[in-house]
């Protein structure tokens, strides 16, 4: 027999953190991921690098693959011995056709797990400040397909009983039939002034809500050209939204923010954006790696061999710390050999990274740029002292030049280099063309130049024009200079050159 198996996974309503731990594990172990339109593609970044992706997205009236074909696809892939993760929006059992997929798997003897998800029918109202039940208003709710025409000759829904028996009614797939749904509910006894809300793309950056009554909502929806996918909520609980709406109050609500820094460094910024209610889209245009040139590496190794001779080691970034210690370890050099040197860290994060390795920095400047470091350490330095400066290939010139002026013997070594990466560029071009990226964050000059190069390599002939109208946020003056040289305006500027400050700046235009 085969070792193939299938995970039928609920991806949740959209917010990529609304997936279960089991669902995430299934993404991480899959050889193939079969996913559709309502499963947020951002979840896919957790896959194994070699995992195959198959999009079987269903648009409202245009099936890319028929359901029977999807069922068969899952069977075929599993019988080839693959671990298959079928990612579906919301919960797979709620209008998700998981039953049909599982049935065919059973018939072919394929093992599967059904991993529930957070269904849009409850989560999307909650993100709009509408709890589907509330002691004061209703003790029942129903999830109903809006796909059945209430006035067609045959409807499997018993509208009269539903209207009488159920408190809150949540309709999925109902936008196109909204008018008939409202008419039918009124006919069956619901009061015309009964509150109704539609929430589209709930829990995504594009979440939007419209409210009204059974009598007027369909006209309002038409006027606003309010499109699916949306959840329709009918019931007194809709009134609670006025008081309980919360997502909309977050400072970055509705804003999609491009994060261009290296993936290994991006998580802090991504979390800040997320906390502030924005949607971070990661497009790392930089990867950090050890120096690729043998000469550079040799110079580094020679300096490390003589580490005991230095009076000062000045470390200018968290990455500097990471790659410096990585190389010491690779060369089998014990950190006690740097015991003679005093250590300066440029910023609190760098100091923290040092502390993680058991080293408490001797000096920590109050200002985080090259000039600031000097102000702090100048008084401590004596001419002719030996200073080791482990930096990166793109490091600023100011610090070493000034140290040399002060009569110090400076050894600069590169401990890492930045290289361009462009993975996922097609998707970013698509988002930029649709004006779906609202802000771009730049955390160094090279993120600016690399972004343009990455877009160019993915076929954008005029990458600058793709950035027109997108707001730009910069971490510091050097980065800003690069942006301004390209003729682009800057909307947000960090007060301090830290990621926390950059994130904070996104709420205040300059
Ligand atoms: N299994 C899914 C529902 C699939 S039916 C679940 O449990 O959520 C597809 C319908 O779900 C859409 O037509 C829409 O009505 C609703 N839907 C799914 N995700 C949504 C979202 N993020 N915002 C609004 N409606 C959504």
Report whether 350 contacts 318 (CB < 8 A): yes
The residue whose CA is least distant from atom 5 of ligand 1 is 95
Tell me if the bond preceding 229 is cis, omega within 30° of 0: yes
Q: How far apart are CA 474 and CA 482, in angstroms?
A: 10
Tell me, in angstroms, the distance from the centre of ligand 1 to residue 234's CA.
16
Quote the strand ranges of 89-184, DSSP E.
Answer: 111-115, 141-145, 168-172
- Phi then psi dihedrals of residue 359, to 5 deg: -115, 120
For the domain made up of 122-249, give the CATH fold.
3.30.950
- 422: tokens are 């462009």
Count of beta carbons in the 10 Å neighbourhood of residue 187: 13
- Phi then psi dihedrals of residue 280, to 5 deg: -85, 130
Equal CATH topology for 256-285+421-505 and 291-417? yes
Cβ neighbours of residue 334 closer than 8 Å, sequence gap 6 or more:
none
Q: How far apart are CA 261 and CA 138, in angstroms?
A: 48
Q: Taking the domains of the chain in order of start, what are their residue ranges? A: 5-118, 122-249, 256-285+421-505, 291-417
Asked if 169 is an active-site residue, the reply is no
Q: How far apart are CA 247 and CA 262, in angstroms?
A: 29
Question: At how many degrees (to 10) do helices 398-405 and 370-377 cross?
Answer: 30
Residue tagged active-site, from 24, 29, 58, 393 = 58
Q: How far apart are CA 428 and CA 413, in angstroms?
A: 35
Atom of ligand 1 nearest to the CA of 202: 23
Q: How far apart are CA 128 and CA 121, in angstroms?
A: 12
Tell me, in angstroms, the distance from the centre of ligand 1 to residue 31's CA.
26
Q: How far apart are CA 477 and CA 485, in angstroms?
A: 12
Q: Which helix (H) or strand (E) covers residue 274, if one does?
A: helix 263-275
Please report the pLDDT score of residue 403 as a whole number: 84
Dihedral of CA atoms 26, 29, 34, 38 in degrees, nearest 10, equals 40
Please report the pLDDT score of residue 267 as a whole number: 87
- 125: tokens are 């109202």
DSSP-derived 3-state class of residue 336: helix
- Ligand 1 site-directed mutation target among 86, 91, 229, 234, most atoms within 8 Å of CB: 229
How remote is the C-alpha of 89 from its chain's centroid?
Answer: 17
- Ligand 1 site-directed mutation target among 172, 209, 221, 254, most atoms within 8 Å of CB: 172
CA distance readout (Å), 302 to 308, 334, 411: 12, 15, 11
Q: How far apart are CA 286 and CA 423, in angstroms?
A: 10
Asked if 24 is an active-site residue, the reply is no
Q: How far apart are CA 267 and CA 475, in angstroms?
A: 16
Q: How far apart are CA 292 and CA 456, in angstroms?
A: 24
Please report the pLDDT score of residue 380 as a whole number: 81
Q: Which helix (H) or strand (E) covers residue 212, if one does?
A: strand 208-213
Tell me the pLDDT of the chain (510 aa) as tens digits: 457 999 999 999 999 999 999 999 999 999 999 999 899 988 998 999 999 999 997 555 565 788 899 999 999 999 999 999 999 999 999 999 999 999 999 999 999 999 999 999 999 999 999 999 999 999 999 999 998 766 665 567 889 999 999 999 999 999 999 999 999 999 999 999 999 999 999 999 899 999 999 999 999 999 999 999 999 999 999 999 999 999 999 999 999 999 999 888 888 899 999 999 999 999 999 999 999 999 999 999 999 999 999 999 999 888 899 999 999 999 999 999 999 899 988 888 889 999 999 999 988 876 555 556 677 777 788 888 999 999 876 556 677 888 888 889 999 999 999 899 998 899 899 999 999 999 999 999 999 999 999 999 999 989 999 999 999 999 999 999 999 999 999 999 999 888 899 999 999 888
CA distance readout (Å), 227 to 39, 201, 223, 373, 475: 18, 9, 11, 55, 37
Report whether 429 contacts 466 (CB < 8 A): yes
Residue tagged active-site, from 31, 82, 91, 173 = 173
Instruction: Report the residue count for the chain.
Output: 510
Burial category of 366 from C-beta neighbours within 10 Å (exposed 0-12, middle 13-18, buried 19 and up): exposed
Please list the helix, strand and coil fractions of the chain in percent, rounded to the nearest 5, in that order.
Answer: 40, 20, 40
What would you measure as the largest C-alpha separation in the chain, in angstroms?
A: 95
In 3D, which of 429, 502, 430, 434 has the Cα closest to residue 472?
502
The residue whose CA is least distant from atom 6 of ligand 1 is 90
Cβ neighbours of residue 507 closer than 8 Å, sequence gap 6 or more:
251, 252, 276
User: CATH 3.30.9.100: does it fit domain 291-417?
Assistant: no
Asked if 58 is an active-site residue, the reply is yes
Quote the strand ranges of 357-479, DSSP E.
Answer: 386-392, 409-420, 439-442, 471-474
CA distance readout (Å), 368 to 169, 190, 253, 495: 56, 64, 31, 11
Tell me, in angstroms, the distance from the centre of ligand 1 to residue 226's CA.
15
Residue tagged active-site, from 31, 36, 91, 414 = 36
Please report the pLDDT score of residue 186 as a whole number: 96
The architecture (CATH level 2) of 256-285+421-505 comes to 3-Layer(aba) Sandwich (3.40)
Q: Which residues line ligand 1 (CB under 6 A)?
A: 13-14, 38, 88-91, 94-96, 119-121, 124, 172-173, 199-204, 228-231
In 3D, which of 304, 276, 279 has the Cα closest to residue 291?
304
**First-to-last CA distance in the chain?**
64
For domain 5-118, give the CATH number: 3.40.1010.10
């Amino acid at each position: 027999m085969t070792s193939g198996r299938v995970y039928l996974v609920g991806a949740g309503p959209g917010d990529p953190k609304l997936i279960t731990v089991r669902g995430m594990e299934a993404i991480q172990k899959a050889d193939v991921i079969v996913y559709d339109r309502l499963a947020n593609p951002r979840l896919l970044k957790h896959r194994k690098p070699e995992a195959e992706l198959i999009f079987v997205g269903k648009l409202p009236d245009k099936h890319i693959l028929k359901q029977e074909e999807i069922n068969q696809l899952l069977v075929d892939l599993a019988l080839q011995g693959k671990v298959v993760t079928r990612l579906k929006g919301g919960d797979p059992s709620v209008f998700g056709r998981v039953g049909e997929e599982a049935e065919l798997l059973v018939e072919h003897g394929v093992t599967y797990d059904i991993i529930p998800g957070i269904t849009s029918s409850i989560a999307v109202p909650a993100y709009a400040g509408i709890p589907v039940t509330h002691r004061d208003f209703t003790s029942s709710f129903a999830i109903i397909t809006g796909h059945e025409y209430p006035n067609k000759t045959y409807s499997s829904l018993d509208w009269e009983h539903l209207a009488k028996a159920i408190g809150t009614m949540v309709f999925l797939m109902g936008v196109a039939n909204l008018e008939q749904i409202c008419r039918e509910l009124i006919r069956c006894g619901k009061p015309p002034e009964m509150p109704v809300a539609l929430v589209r793309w709930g829990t995504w950056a594009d979440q939007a809500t419209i409210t009204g009554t059974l009598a007027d909502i369909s006209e309002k929806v038409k006027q606003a050209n309010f499109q699916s996918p949306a959840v329709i909520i009918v019931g007194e609980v809709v009134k609670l939204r006025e008081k309980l709406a919360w997502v909309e109050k977050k400072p970055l609500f509705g804003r999609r923010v491009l994060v261009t820094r290296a993936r290994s460094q991006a998580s802090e910024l991504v979390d800040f954006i997320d906390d502030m209610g924005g949607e971070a889209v990661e497009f790392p245009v930089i990867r950090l790696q050890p120096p690729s040139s043998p000469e550079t590496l040799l110079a580094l190794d020679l300096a490390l061999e003589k580490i005991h001779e230095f009076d000062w080691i000045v470390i200018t970034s968290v990455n500097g710390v990471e790659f410096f210690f990585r190389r010491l370890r690779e060369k089998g050099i014990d950190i006690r050999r740097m015991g003679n040197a005093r250590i300066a860290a440029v910023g609190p994060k760098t100091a923290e990274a040092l502390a993680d390795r058991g080293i408490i920095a001797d000096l920590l400047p109050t200002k985080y740029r090259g000039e600031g470091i000097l102000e702090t350490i100048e008084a401590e330095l004596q001419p002719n002292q030996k200073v080791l400066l482990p930096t990166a290939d793109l490091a600023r010139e100011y610090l070493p030049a000034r140290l040399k002026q002060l009569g110090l013997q400076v050894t600069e070594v590169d401990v890492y280099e930045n290289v361009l990466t462009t993975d996922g560029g097609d998707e970013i071009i698509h988002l930029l063309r649709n004006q779906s990226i609202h802000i771009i964050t730049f955390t160094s000059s090279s993120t600016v130049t690399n972004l343009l190069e990455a877009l160019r390599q993915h076929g954008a002939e005029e990458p600058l024009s793709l950035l027109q109208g997108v707001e730009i946020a910069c971490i510091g003056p050097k980065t800003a200079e690069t942006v301004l040289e390209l003729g682009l305006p800057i909307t947000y500027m960090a007060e301090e050159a830290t990621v926390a400050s950059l994130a904070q700046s996104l709420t205040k235009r300059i």
